[in-house]
Amino acid sequence: MLEIQEVSGTEGYEGVISQAGNADIHITEALDSGRAIGFIAYAYGEKQTTVYAYDDGGDLKLCDGLVRSVMFKSALKGIECIEFALADEKAYGQLRRLRFLPEDSNVCKDLSSFMNGCESCKHNS
């Protein structure tokens, strides 16, 4: 069964941590039967969350779950904006396919509305 949960350590993520500079990095992993199959690395700021890296193994649904988990946690903290500061330009493709980002931006704003907008999806035929 797939689980998405924040990990307490950062072992194995040293490259991501160095890319983030002095940010207080959080790592959330996607686990399948206890084995990590993906991750997202991010840091909370006062007014925005910054995502520094993610790995979804090319799985669009996994990307969606990882990003939404960070959106949800950010919204709970009163943060309404996520900036993606990804080193790999190709990684923005999945985010744009899922409509997290417009074509000309690396910022997702108004997270609460974005998350609440999904509530009506199940009512659309």
- Residue 117 is predicted with a pLDDT of 54
Which phi and psi angles does 52 have, rounded to 5°? -95, -30
- Residue 22 is predicted with a pLDDT of 73
Give the CA angle between residues 94, 110, 99 to the nearest 5°: 20
Higher pLDDT, 106 or 11: 106
Contact 122, 87 (CB under 8 A): no
Domains of the chain: 2-119 (3.40.630.30)
81-96 residue pLDDT tens: 999 999 988 899 999 9
d(CA 48, CA 89): 21
| The model's pTM | 0.88
DSSP assigned state of 118 = G
d(CA 98, CA 22): 30
What pairing do the DSSP bridges indicate for beta strands 81-84 and 2-6? unpaired
